Each structure stands twice: as structure tokens, then as C-alpha cells.
Copies of this chain bind each other. A is one copy, B any other.
Amino acid sequence: MKPRFKKILSMLLGIGVGVSVAASAWSEPTLQQVMKARGLTQKDLLAAAETYTPTGKRDEYIAFASGGQQGGVMVYGIPSMRILKYIAVFAPEPWQGYGYDDESKAVLAEGKVHGKLITYGDTHHPALSETNGDYDGQYLFINDKSNARLAVIDLKDFETKQIVHNPFFQSDHGGTFVTPNTEYVMEGTQYPAPYGGKYVPLSKFNEKYRGGLTYWKFDRKKGRLDKSQSFVFELPPYSQDLSDAGKLASYGWGFTNSFCSERYVGGDMQGRPPFEAGCSSKDTDYMHVTNWKKAAELVKEGKVQKRRGMYFIPIKQAVKEGLLYLIPEPKSPHGVDVTPDGKYIIVAGKLDSHVSVFSWPKIQKAIKTHDFEGRDPYGIPIIPMKDVLHTQIEVGLGPLHTQFDSKKCIAYTSLYVDSQVVKYDYCKGKVLDKIDIHYNIGHLMTMEGDTEHPDGKYLVALNKLAIDRFNPVGPLHPQNHQLIDISGQKMRLLYDMPVPLGEPHYAQAIKATKLKPLIRYPFGWNARANHKSRWRTRPGRERIVRHGTRVDVYGTVIRSHITPEIIRVNEGDTVSLHFTNLERAEDETHGFAINGQNVQLSIEPGSTVSATFVADRPGVYPYYCTEFCSALHLEMEGYLIVKPKNYKAQTVSLKHGVVYTKADYDKQVATNMKTQAVIDKVVRYITSRNYKDYPQVVSLMEDATDQLNFAKGARKKAEAAAAKGDWQNAMLWANQWWQYQVKTADIGLRAKTYLDQHGAHKIK
């Protein structure tokens, strides 16, 4: 802050010029001193330099990781490994007001399961929307394994917009994966169950329990999944696991693996060996190969019937139409990952020490030539594994999931049991490097690693409970995401990031420059429904409207007050609050909480947010802004007064706590006049510069203009009261007038600083 402007602001607040600080001799520690004191090696220092991101600098990639049983999505920067946001998806989160305001409650209600509100999710695999096989930065999808649900997050504002429940499935570990233009979002079941979760005894497991694979149609224009245009493949009661969509060479097809193709049902308390024994006894399980493009054509041609509101493709039809094949794959596979060129499908089977590289041209050939080794018990043709394998590579113990490099033929696979990442050439079938991780890696992620054009550079190992890596925080440990440099021939460990909440299962990282989120919402926006809110309220149009026992409060928030400040209702009324944030500055989010009603809102600039509750207990309930918004933030308060039934009002007027005189008023007005002179000076400074070239400053100037208009309004009221000799109101309005002036000056100063720092010049 420049001294001159500090002086201006100091004047505004009625103080002298800031004291000058004596410049005295001092010295920083040297790098060598710090390294010695902290026990850092040269390797550590290099890693520090490769990850440390100074104030204001940006990360190169943004990662979106599932929160696991936390129910949301974690967003962090790479290489700094700093967590930027947890996006609430399936579980309510009060900071974001998610699950506490009416708009987000409606999103959560969409995700009801058989009529029950579910307030958690087990999120596993986030998928960024793609255009031509590359991430486009527009949307993010994520599944809830335990309740067979998917959610859509809009990356314009990083908010959850939609939750859908699969009417067939009872679990969906295998979601989400997108086709190369986000035509469809793939969701596979995990644990077989009767469709719709209907009651069927376990004795009919083979006959009546089923797996499945849903291709959800994505309507990009609306930013919503369209259930009515989606289709479901009936699949046998194997435990389907992960999927991946084909690309380029294999465009139009999808690949879904499975475990427990033994169709084993445990029952340890009935004397049966447990699931883990029966589900891991065969040497191979099945990869499912599905032709979604042809299925979509059949749907279009009206050849697929609807069930439960979606198109449903029975196994029989799928087989008949050539939409569905099986390929044996080694023991209990997890990841099935299509190479960037779409020519190979790499399967990592956790009870096998190899990765198996399947050749898409060979699979295609087998399909064309009907090279089948028979059919499974459900009639699905089985393609012989040996005929379509490109190679198998012995990589180590517990291989799980594979990601790709920018370099041709280079892949990385996580080794859960070995606690390692292996790098190899899948064309030549040769292991190139291994690196130890800490510990028990699940998935791994390279930069844009699921696209047709991976970026290489970094790899993140998504490790499980960190045990000893960090300072201990009790029996429930954080996870550990380790950043690994993969730009050279050998992998190098750069950074350990604890995950403070949840257990991410998978993540995707996108080039940061592809994300262009909103700075503020259009005026009166319902951010969940993505349209103007019917409850939006302009300043000065605030009102309380009663219909019977329903009371709608059309309110506004702007620093530093909530309108209305007093809400009076009757015991038993249904109160619906609707607040529009009138701010134009991007960091002027306001919160709103009210005592005892379970209402906590986050109202970002421009948005309109509602909360509805029944005022069932007479009493006095303070409310206030929960986001530290301004110097007078604590004064941003109000009272909900709930009058008891049959209460007889007495006409007593409130006594003043402090009585003001003409002298108080005159003193305040004198201050205000001086303040206005300063504001005029700041405005002259800004308007004499090319400020219109800076959208952020234009936005601040709009905000300043708002505040100045409010100041004018307060001044009018002050002068009107003074004219009547009402010094109490005259003084208070004069003070309010000054409050608006201070805000104007504050914004002006921010705008001025911005111009100075960004090289604005005088206009002629």
C-alpha cells in the first residue's frame, strides 16, 4: 500500500499518518544454515524447489480426487500439492451451505434411494468431461458406490448440480468413465443384486441376481445426465469392477472387468467359507466388451425396450446384436485401461503378478471371425485370452491400476502389495523402472493420463493409511498422496501430501489453464438450478410477504448488513428466507446462520439462496453473517422474533441505549464532508487512468458506485431527520452514510492498488 493512499484511508478513519518503521540491520539465515538445521539433503532441496510455489504463483495442473466415504471431491494443485477445495457432493457440508439451503437440498433429494434421503456417498472415480478424447474443463462426474448414484459437478463454479440414482443397481464401484466426447458416462455395478433391489432369496442368486453396465447420456447443453436417453446392459452376476471407454482405434466400445466370476456367495455364520475364499479361487475372471455405439443406434432405431424409465438391453439381445463379449483376464483384476491410441487394453489383476496387455486389433479380429472358446452360462461368447493378448509383463505383487505417459508405449502401474510404482514399455513388454511408495498404493494418476494426449511430467501415487509418514493424529490416519517426477528416465519422489479428510480412490489432473471458473454469478442466480432465482431481490425491494402461515422473506445481504434486520413471525409459521447477495466484488461472499434452526447459508456475490423452516418455538433467535466480510462484519446481525400463539402485544417503544444531540450530528457530517473530498480524489485518480482495460477494476468500480449510491440514500435520510430536529436518527443515518463512504474508499483503494501493480497509465 502506497503511503499517500494509506494517508487517505487514515484520514477516512480519523487517524494520523502511520508511524514510520525504523530500518535496522538484520539478516536472513543462509540456505546452508537452514538445510543443516532441518536435516535436508541436496535431493530434498531439489524436490523443495520443484514443488514450492511462492505466494500468488499458480499450479500447472489441478487434480480432482474422489473423497471416498467422505462423499465429495477434493481439488488440489500440482506440483504444490496444496488442497484448494473440497466440493460437497453426496454429503451435506455447511461452509458451502450444501444440504442446508433449499436449492442444494433439492439436489440431494434427487438422489433419494427408494424414498430415503442419503446423506453420504462413497465416491470412487471422478471423470472429467472430454471433447475429442481430451479433457475440456467443463464438467466432472463422480459415483457413489454404496448407493449406485452419479453426480454432475459444473466446473464453471465447482458446484454439484445433479444427482441421479440408478433404478437397477444396488452398488456401482465401476463409475465414472466417459466416452471420448462425453456422449455417455459409464457406470458398472459391483455387487450383484436383483434389479431395483427387490427381494429375491439368495438361493436364486445365479438366476435372479444381476450385474449391469449403464451408459448415461450426457446432455452437454443442459449440463445434465438424461435418464430417458440412457441405456443399461444386463450383465451376469459377476462382480463388475472398473471400466474404460475405447478411443481412436477402439472408439465406440467399452471395456469392463470383473472379479468373483465364481458367483460365490459367502455366509460365514452359516458355516460357509467367506466371500474372500470363494471369490478368489479361479485363475481368471472376465473382461466385458460392449459396443455402446451400436447400442445407441439400436436405441435410436427404436429396437430397445424401456424398463424403469431407461432403455434396457437384455443379455440375449446384446448377444444377438453383437454388442457384448467376454474375454478371460487374470485373477481378480482391478484396472482396465485403454492406451492413448486406443490400440491396447491393459488389465492389472491384483492376485496376479503381471499386467496383461490385450490387443484391440486382435479382439476385433476375434469378433469378426467368431473366434470364441464357448459361451458363459448366460450365453455370452467368450473370446480366447491367448488369441487376443499382446503380451503379459511381470511387474510385481498386487498390480492395480495403470496410467500413461506422454512418451509412446510407456505406462505406470501401481503395485499394492509391493508398495511400488512400476514403469514399463507395454509395446515391448519390458519393465524400465520401479520406485518405492509409502505405503499400499491404490490408484495412480499421471497428468491428463486418461486422455488421448497424456502430459507425462508428474505421477501421483494414491496411497492408503499413512501410518508413520506424518505427525500422528489418532487411530484414524490420513492417506498419503505422493508426487513423483516422471520426466526423466528414473522416477523421483518429490512430495508427500497428507489427505486430511476421506479416502480418495481415484483422481484426474487437468492443465490448469483449461479451467475458467466464474468470478461472480449473474444477479439473482440460483446456482444449483443454473437459472435466475424466482426469489431474487433488488436493493430497496426487500419485503416480507405472508400467505396464510407461510412467510416469504425477500432479503438482501451486502457488507455490512442484512435486510431485513428484524423478522417477526408467529409461532407455527413456515418461514422461507431468500437472500440475494448484492455485492460485485468477488471476495464478498456472505454467510447466514440463525440460532437453533439448522440454517447455514453461503451466499456468493450475485447468488440468491433460500432456507425454509418451521418456527415452532416462540422466542428470540439472533442471526448474522458467518463469513468475515468487512470491518463491521460482527455488526452484520439481526433477530428473528417468533411471537407466541395468543400473545397480546403491548405498545411499548424501545428506549434508546444512547441519546445523540445536534453536536454529535454536526461532528459526523463534518467527517463525512472531508471523507467525500478524499473519495472524489481517488475517483479522479482512477478515472484518469485506463481502468476500463482491467475487468477486475471495472467490477470494483461498479461496486464503489453501488456503495456511493447507498451513501447518498443514507445522507438524504440523515438530512431529512435533521430538518425535523430528530437528532437521534439524523446522527445514526449520518453514521450510516459514513459507513458507506468508508466502503467506497476501501474499494477505491483496492482498485487504485490494482492499477498501480498492473502498470495502468494515464489517459490523455
Contacts and interface: CB of A to CB of B under 8 A. Distances in A.
A518 interface: yes
A58 B470 contact: yes
A626 B501 contact: no
A351 B54 CA distance: 32
Nearest to A433: B21
Contacts of A48: 45, 48-49, 51-52
A128 to B, nearest CB: 15
A546 B597 CA distance: 38
A4 interface: no
Nearest to A81: B82
A200 B620 contact: yes
A502 B636 CA distance: 19
A695 interface: no
Interface stretch (A11-19, A287-295, A298-306): A11-19
Nearest to A721: B273
Interface stretch (A36-44, A178-186, A213-221, A685-693): A36-44
Contacts of A660: 281
A82 B479 CA distance: 12
Interface stretch (A310-318, A319-327, A558-566, A672-680): A558-566
B473 A84 contact: yes
A56 B469 contact: yes
Contacts of A76: 500
A118 B596 contact: yes
B268 A561 contact: yes
A107 to B, nearest CB: 16
Contacts of A91: 92-94
Contacts of A536: none
Contacts of A276: 560-561, 632, 635-636, 736, 739
Contacts of A13: 351, 353, 397, 417
A35 B34 CA distance: 18
Interface in A433-473: 433-434, 436, 438-440, 442, 464-465, 467-473
A205 to B, nearest CB: 6
Contacts of A337: none
Contacts of A118: 596, 598
Given A52-B51, A561-B276, A593-B69, A260 B635 contact: yes
A150 interface: no
Nearest to A90: B94
A517 interface: yes
Contact of A598 (B25, B116, B717): B116
A355 to B, nearest CB: 12
Given A273-B729, A622-B170, A591 B203 contact: no
Nearest to A465: B587
A55 B469 contact: yes
A637 B275 contact: yes
A380 interface: no
Contacts of A521: 475
A732 B28 contact: no
A690 B383 CA distance: 55
B563 A269 contact: yes
A578 interface: no
Contacts of A121: 94
Interface in A44-64: 44-59, 62
A396 interface: yes
Nearest to A594: B146
Interface residues of A, number: 254
A511 to B, nearest CB: 11
Interface stretch (A338-346, A362-370, A402-410, A649-657): A649-657
A597 B115 CA distance: 11
Interface string A245-285: 00000000000000111111111111011111111111000
Interface in A360-397: 394, 396-397
A204 interface: yes
Contacts of A47: 52, 54
B631 A416 contact: yes
Contact of A431 (B19, B58, B520, B621): B19
Interface string A481-523: 0100001111011001110111101000000100101111100
A442 B629 CA distance: 10
A653 B83 CA distance: 52
Given A15-B353, A418-B6, A433-B21, A68 B82 contact: no
A52 B44 CA distance: 8
B635 A394 contact: no
A280 to B, nearest CB: 6
A92 B92 contact: yes
A605 B475 contact: yes
A756 interface: no
B593 A146 contact: yes
Interface string A7-34: 0011001011011011011111101001
Interface stretch (A188-196, A226-234, A701-709): A188-196
B489 A199 contact: no
Contacts of A96: 476
B643 A199 contact: yes
A466 to B, nearest CB: 8
B157 A205 contact: no
A600 interface: yes
A306 B280 CA distance: 66
A350 interface: yes
Nearest to A415: B18
The CB with the most chain B CB atoms within 10 A, among A52, A113, A439, A746, is that of A52
Nearest to A544: B269
A259 B18 contact: no
A268 B631 contact: no
A147 interface: yes
Interface in A123-180: 145-148, 156-159, 170-171, 173
A58 B635 contact: no
A542 interface: yes
Contact of A654 (B194, B202, B260): B202
Contacts of A472: 515, 517, 519
A535 interface: no
A618 B49 CA distance: 59
Contact of A203 (B93, B113, B596, B654): B654
Given A269-B563, A518-B474, A626 B69 contact: yes
Given A31-B46, A44-B52, A197-B619, 11 more contacts: A18-B394, A25-B489, A29-B488, A71-B94, A193-B620, A199-B618, A264-B657, A273-B729, A475-B586, A475-B589, A503-B628
4 smallest A-B Cβ distances: which pairs? Answer: A263-B657, A48-B52, A94-B120, A277-B736
6 contacts: A13-B353, A26-B488, A41-B54, A156-B474, A260-B635, A272-B732
